[in-house]
Amino acid sequence: MQHYSKKLALTPISLALLALCGISAPVLAQTSVGQVQDVVVTTGVRGEARTVTDSPAPVDVISGEQLIHTGRAELAEALARLLPSFNFGTNQAGVNSVVRPVSNRGLGPAYTLVLVNGKRRHNGALLTNGGGDTSGVNAIDLDTIPLSAIGHIEVLKDSAAAQYGSDAVAGVVNVILKTGNHGGEISASYGKLKDGDGDLSSKKLEGDAGFTLGDDGFLHIGAAARKRGQAWYNFPSTNLVAYSPASNPKNATWNRDGAHNGDPGIEAYDLAFNAEKPYNADITLYAFGTAGTRNTVAGNNFRRPNGLATIAQIYPDGYFAINNMSAYDYQLNVGARGKTAGWNWDLSTGYGKNRARQYSNLTLNPSLGPTSPTSFDNLATYQFEQWTTNEDFTRAVDIGWKKPLQWSWGLEQRVERFSTFAGDPLGYINGGYIFKTGDQEGNPNVGKPAAVGAQAGVALSPADATSIRRTVLAVYNDLGFYPVDDWFVDGAVRFEHYDDSAGNTASGKINSRYDFTPKVAIRGTVGSGFRAPSLTQTGYSQTDNRTNINPVTGEVGPSLSKLLRNDSELAHKFGARDLDPEKSVNFGIGLVLKPADNINVTLDGYQVKVKDRIVRTGYMFGPAFAPTLIAAGLTGTEWVQYFANAIDTRTRGADLVADITSDYGSYGLVRWGAALNWNKTDVTRINATPSQITALGANPGGSSVWFGYSAGGGIGDLSATPKTKLILSARWFFGDLEANVQTTRYDSYLWQTTANRAQDYHFGAKWLTDLDLSYAVTKKVKLVVGAANLFNTTPDKNGPGDANSGGNSFVYGPAPFAPSGAYYYGKVTYVF
């Protein structure tokens, strides 16, 4: 552990940089009060050990200590709070609120590779369908890794497809687990949201401990148990009617509580371990892994007593359907590394699995009439498995230059399987019930068919069930060398073979850095990438009952939505084609400044072009589609969509990062940080609407938009992603007291929901402030009090309300930060 031995006062240069921080700058890691820039990183360049300031590519390091100072946030949201290039999708509605994807540099979760101890992490089983990403990929569930087990995290903000795999287009997140062989800590925390409805509290018990394995090995274990209440944020409107007719006296007593959308309730238990033991002088054995379970309950919109989704004999006053999820996740990696004949080698294999079962303890299939069950133990089950084996070799080769060439190469085999399993038939069948006199007060729907399927959930039928498997073989070669003392050049190529339609691919990368002086350096990257369609994009289908924004009228209402399997006969009748791989080209250029030992500044610009990007089409429905749907055995009222290679995109941006450490002597030490990300994604090409759709002709009251405002997974200027995100922070160490304050500015953004630009929704820029105070009561006991979003800031409330339920499903829009407002908490930690 490194400490400063002399006083570092604020200089004119540091003052100037602090002024610069007013419009920029970072939150890099720290290993106590030591200088984080001296942390050795292993991500981005193979072979030679480097620090953050020496790296030829932009790397941020987040310490485990920083992660636990983010309130009730788990790993995914914590990264978004600490890194300006990351945004956390705050999906607030129904089953989709369980999956909250993280985007990096304006690109969705499919473009950032996640590693644990340098080894690939398996994907989650659930699909992204909101929160800023509707691409339908299996986002990696970062929250299954307990924060107590994490030593630090290395975030490579550069394309690394040629080094690590085709899904590293936007960068790499490498989670490094703790390695201590003794000691540990245990902590308990409790907190509560300032405002909202439901259960506003959160509780967490976590800890870690290190043990020796023999005389020279270690075993470190971390675990967490947490419970977060289900909370929602309702904004009732007095002009809405739930009971028919409008004069019904029940309307006078209805509280206008129209939606329970918000944070799902969570009960989770997670465990991680990291172990290492030398076998002999040349070989070391290692193993690490994680395991966890999670149960969630997510709210939904109010099903009104006079709507097509309510049977009065069961729910005379309407009901809030809920979605439950039970999931488990685990991964185990084992391996050995050593040195033979001058080669450093690392052989490993790892298997991971994520399985999630969706059910409901309170819902209804209205089409079954008064005999419908009100709970379903199994509506749908999702499962993702991944088995990865790696062989990596590296050595220094003397080629007669002042510094040796670093040669690295390796092989990888990856087997992936995605499976879905049908649920209870009563959850998805169409019982054909027609409303009769006496079924509802006022008889508003006599003669109309009731809604089909268990409300608020996805109910998979045998026709939807799938099992898709593929094998990926890869080989890479990486050469790093110094043509002159201060000029580093690294070149990498990677070849991958997919045994499905993705076929063969090659990716390349050239990365370089030149140090003009010890205080000034430039760096840059040119590379190509390739992303095969995810298994879910090629082979997943579902039918669900939800509320959607009508792209024609702009109104929010219920819809029977069907995602068609891309290779199905029905999808082909609407213009679907087999998916092609996406291809990308990236450029990066950066400047590294170190004007003093206590000051670090980096500025990195980037551009990523993606060709044939895979997105969901818009929802298509109406009389023009009905005959084909009916002929396929459906009702004809479905809103249908599928995945397609629809667009090309170009993402441009820049990261400005700075940190300053100032020693004020008897007044303590302060670490100042600032970081700014500017990011813009443009859709540069849209494929023409397939002729099968245009041939359908007029579609009054429906939508034939193949790609538009409702598609694309939040892509482009109207994606609800702020173009800039600024983080300013200060951490003060003063004896036994530690204070940390951070403020984040999210830029304004637009959200487009219909083709009519006059109906775009504008959300203004917002500042969020986090504060926590820590005090060491004794050498073993520490108390923490804090507030996330101290001033209770929420997004602007000008999204489209839900006239059908009187709820707030979309009132905040897809906000880039949680609309839940202020969260106040306390924590006690015992160190042993």
Per-residue pLDDT of 82-92, as tens digits, reads: 988 887 766 66
Q: Say what the pLDDT of residue 719 is.
A: 57
Q: Say what the pLDDT of residue 556 is.
A: 56
DSSP 138: B
Which range is least confidently modeled, 86-95, 105-114, 123-132, 308-317? 86-95
Q: Say what the pLDDT of residue 236 is.
A: 64
Q: Answer whether residue 227 shows pLDDT above 60.
A: yes
Q: What is the pLDDT of residues 422-436, one digit of tens each?
A: 999 999 998 999 999
Q: Answer whether residue 459 shows pLDDT above 70.
A: yes
Residues 222 and 184: their CA atoms lie apart, in Å, by 9
Q: Answer whether residue 408 shows pLDDT above 50.
A: yes
Q: Is 653 strand, coil or helix?
A: strand
Nearest CA to 731 out of 719, 741, 718 is that of 741
- Yes or no: say if 153 and 174 are a contact pair by the CB < 8 Å rule: yes
Whether 253 is covered by a domain: the verdict is: no
Whether 601 is covered by a domain: the verdict is: yes
H-helix or E-strand containing 13?
helix 12-21
Cα angle, residue 159 at apex, residues 399 and 414 outer, rounded to 5°: 90
- Yes or no: say if 726 and 24 are a contact pair by the CB < 8 Å rule: yes
Whether 252 is covered by a domain: the verdict is: no
> Which residue has better confidence, 510 or 52?
510
Q: Say what the pLDDT of residue 71 is.
A: 79
Residues 639 and 621: their CA atoms lie apart, in Å, by 5
Q: Say what the pLDDT of residue 752 is.
A: 66
Match 């959308």 to its residue by tokens.
261
Nearest CA to 146 out of 264, 64, 31 is that of 64
> Which residue has better confidence, 29 or 608?
608
Residues 157 and 134: their CA atoms lie apart, in Å, by 23
- Yes or no: say if 786 and 154 are a contact pair by the CB < 8 Å rule: no
Q: Is 462 strand, coil or helix?
A: coil
Q: How many CA atoms lie within 13 A of 535 on its CB side?
A: 26
Q: Answer whether residue 110 shows pLDDT above 90.
A: no
Q: Say what the pLDDT of residue 505 is.
A: 87
Which range is least confidently modeled, 276-280, 357-361, 395-399, 810-814? 810-814
Q: What is the pLDDT of residues 741-789, one digit of tens each?
A: 999 999 987 766 555 566 667 788 999 999 999 999 999 999 999 999 9
H-helix or E-strand containing 161?
helix 161-164
Strand partners of residue 645: 614
Whether 2 is covered by a domain: the verdict is: no
Buried b (16+ CB within 10 A) or exposed e, 275-287: bbbbeeeeebbbb
Q: Say what the pLDDT of residue 72 is.
A: 77
Q: Answer whether residue 815 shows pLDDT above 80.
A: no
Whether 7 is covered by a domain: the verdict is: no
Task: Output the CA–CA distances (angstroms, integers) from residue 513 to 57, 407, 591, 605, in the order listed.
Answer: 8, 18, 10, 14
Helices (H), 598-650: 626-631
Report the chain's mean pLDDT, rounded to a whole number.
Answer: 85
Residues 678 and 723: their CA atoms lie apart, in Å, by 6
Whether 261 is covered by a domain: the verdict is: no
Give me the domain span that covers residue 454.
12-171+180-237+271-682+695-831
Distant-in-sequence, close-in-space partners of 643: CB < 8 Å, separation ≥ 6:
136, 533, 537, 538, 566, 579, 614, 615, 616, 617
The pLDDT-based confidence of 363 (bands split at 50, 70, 90) is very high
Q: Say what the pLDDT of residue 51 is.
A: 76
Whether 688 is covered by a domain: the verdict is: no
Whether 445 is covered by a domain: the verdict is: yes
Q: How many CA atoms lie within 13 A of 674 on its CB side?
A: 19
**pTM score above 0.85:** yes
The pLDDT-based confidence of 618 (bands split at 50, 70, 90) is confident
Q: Answer whether residue 709 shows pLDDT above 80.
A: no
Tell me the average pLDDT across 396-403.
Answer: 89
Q: Answer whether residue 246 shows pLDDT above 50.
A: yes
Q: What is the pLDDT of residues 62-72, one digit of tens each?
A: 888 888 888 77
**Which CATH number covers residue 406?**
2.40.170.20
Q: Answer whether residue 216 shows pLDDT above 80.
A: yes
Residues 570 and 10: their CA atoms lie apart, in Å, by 68
**Percent of the chain at pLDDT exceeding 90:** 55
Q: How many domains does the chain have?
A: 1
In 553-706, the DSSP E strands lie at 556-563, 582-596, 599-616, 639-641, 643-663, 669-686
Which range is least confidently modeled, 13-22, 176-185, 439-448? 13-22
